[in-house]
Amino acid sequence: MEWTQEQRAVIYGNYWAQEESHCPDDNAVLDVKFQYEGLLATCPRCRKTIHMNMNEDPKKDTFRQWTAVEINEMGDAHFQNKSSSCPVCQRCVDIDATSFSGMTVLNLSCQRCGNKHEIKSK
Ligand SMILES: [Zn+2]
Ligand SMILES: [Zn+2]
């Protein structure tokens, strides 16, 4: 039996909230990978595999773009050696810093809600 839309939403939501989801049929811990802008979940027990993307996120209606203030705060936190959680979905934000020609560029991205932003500091 295929996983229903509701089961998929639970799998998707639990993964982001707890980094762990269980197979709705046999309760095995699913093997989840981030792939193609979404999650690929495979059950090691029954071998069911599904790919889900942001459209199946149970919280997608709350997703919006980061504001300029939020972006600045995440940039500031990075330089204070603090990690930031996404102001939209509370997922830990990935920050990639590169420096060139006397400038540091931060690439902020959130895997869950898909927000991305580049900050250039002088
Ligand atoms: Zn299973
Ligand atoms: Zn987010």
**Nearest bound ligand to CA 114?**
2
Domain assignments of the chain as residue spans, ordered by start: 5-61, 68-121
Quote the pTM value.
Answer: 0.82
**Nearest bound ligand to CA 27?**
1
Q: How far is CA 120 from CA 70, 74, 106, in A?
A: 15, 13, 6
Question: Exposed/middle/buried for 89, CB within 10 Å: 0-12, 13-18, 19+?
Answer: buried
Tell how far the Cα of 14 is from the centroid of ligand 1, in angstroms.
Answer: 16
Query: pLDDT, tens digit, for every residue of 56-94?
Result: 899 999 999 999 999 999 999 999 999 999 999 999 999
Tell how far the Cα of 48 is from the centroid of ligand 1, in angstroms.
Answer: 6
**CATH no. of 68-121:** 2.20.25
